[in-house]
Amino acid sequence: MSALALSVVLSFVSAVAYAAGAIVQEQVAVSSPGAQQYAPLRRPGWWAAVALNGLGALLHVVALAYGPLSLVQPLGALTIVFALPMAALFVGRKAGATAWRGAIMATVGLAGLLSLVGAAEAQSLSSAQRVAAALGTAGAVVALMVAARAVHRHPAVRSILLAMASGVAFGMSSVFTKTVAVDWTGGVSAGDLPSMAVIGVLATAGMLLSQASYRGAGLAAPLATLTVMNPVVAAVVGITMFGETFRYGSTGTALALSCGVVAAGGLILLTTERLAREHQEARAGGAKSAVPASVPAADAAERLLAQLTLPDDVPVPAPLGAPDDADPAAAPLMAYAPFCGGPYVPVGVVDRHRTRITS
């Protein structure tokens, strides 16, 4: 097998591992309480997801060693395409037509964008640039987390914001990894220890934020957002700090912007599809909980009896002591009489406040 074919195979397996890890994370998020939305450390499934994501990252790095960046990076965008059929097959979570359109648009736009990024000479970042990049990343992640907390009543929007924060953390982790790799070509030094610490912090933050993004928002929208944000952030930093450019000059730049618009449109489709589903679920839940306005909501027996109707042929007796020509329909209904499964027949009440005759 040639090196190019091996890199393609490794890229496919890496995307499958990432997709499996995302599916496991989403299942853990659904079944975990709110206090464990970021790090359900006691759940074996979460550790399985960590292992799958680690395997995907390792295979991706090995694929980059055997194949060109322009080929391996776009193939990594297939994660979302693999995740949707895998989720339908293994956990019975089927995606609608809108979700499929959004996922395909996001994948095609991302693959086109990455394929247009040209390579540049390997270079590192200065100490001032590393500090600025670390502080800027921390500020962006914190701002997205605060915004996600502010919109906690809208799970879909909250999920997208947390997935964006996770993508920023993972993308900048790749940037610092590239910086350390360039430094190590000239020998390992103690000056790289702060960068390695930043890599560990950003990778951990990305994992925790991605876990929280799957809670209450399904699989497609957060996974697509994370899949797009990670390489886009790395590409933006590569263009601004590493001197990378788009291929084919101004034409390539225009094509890259078009691909970015397509990817953003796919994410918007996924978000609106999830918001529409939440609206439908809220309406269905409201219809099930609706009760007649004339019945006290706190009394379950009253709600049950209020839904009962009497057949026309069931006689309703008049109250005891009433005149013979009294209207039986005027008899008061008793909601506290025994009910044994048959039609409810109200019973008249004996008046206990009768006038006593004294001699």
State the angle between helix axes of 193-213 and 127-150 in degrees (0 to 180), rounded to the nearest 10: 20
With pLDDT > 70 as the criterion, what percentage of the chain qualifies?
A: 69
Average pLDDT over residues 295-302: 50
pLDDT beyond 90 at 176:
no
Task: Identify the band that residue 293 occupies on the pLDDT scale cut at 50, 70 and 90.
Answer: very low
Residue 126 near residue 183 (C-beta atoms within 8 A): no
**Residue 23, pLDDT above cutoff 80:** yes
Res. 44: pLDDT tops 50: yes
DSSP 117: B
What is residue 325's predicted lDDT score, i.e. its pLDDT? 58
Largest CA distance in the chain: 123
Lowest mean pLDDT among 82-91, 142-151, 294-303: 294-303
The Cα–Cα gap between 107 and 133 comes to 27
- pLDDT computed for residue 36 by the predictor: 59
Give 69's pLDDT tier (boundaries 50, 70, 90).
Answer: low
Q: Where are the alpha helices (DSSP H) in the chain?
A: 3-31, 44-66, 69-76, 79-90, 97-115, 127-150, 155-184, 193-213, 220-241, 249-288, 300-306
Per-residue pLDDT at 294: 47
- What confidence score (pLDDT) does residue 81 get? 79
**Which is more confident, 65 or 49?**
49
Question: Which residue matches tokens 């979302």?
Answer: 80
Lowest-confidence range among 47-51, 155-159, 190-194? 190-194
As a whole number of angstroms, the distance between CA 260 and CA 256 comes to 6
Report the distance separating Cα 223 and Cα 311, nearest Å: 56
pLDDT at position 291 is: 45
> Residue 145 pLDDT > 90, yes or no?
yes
For 188-238, what is each residue's pLDDT tens digit?
677 778 888 998 899 889 988 988 888 776 777 888 888 888 778 877 887
How many whole angstroms from its chain centre is CA 106? 16
Confidence at residue 305, expressed as pLDDT on a 0 to 100 scale: 56
Tell me the CA distances in angstroms from 144 to 137, 161, 165, 203, 315, one per residue in order: 11, 6, 6, 17, 68
Q: How confident is the model at residue 299 (pLDDT cuts 50, 70, 90)?
A: low
How much is the pLDDT for 96?
Answer: 77
How would DSSP label each residue in 182-224? HHHTT---GGGHHHHHHHHHHHHHHHHHHHHHTTTT-SHHHHH
Choose the weakest-confidence range: 8-17, 93-102, 322-331: 322-331
- Is residue 356's pLDDT more than 80? no
User: Percent of the chain scored above 90 by pLDDT?
Assistant: 11
Quick one: pLDDT at residue 120?
62
> Which has the higher per-residue pLDDT, 2 or 262?
262
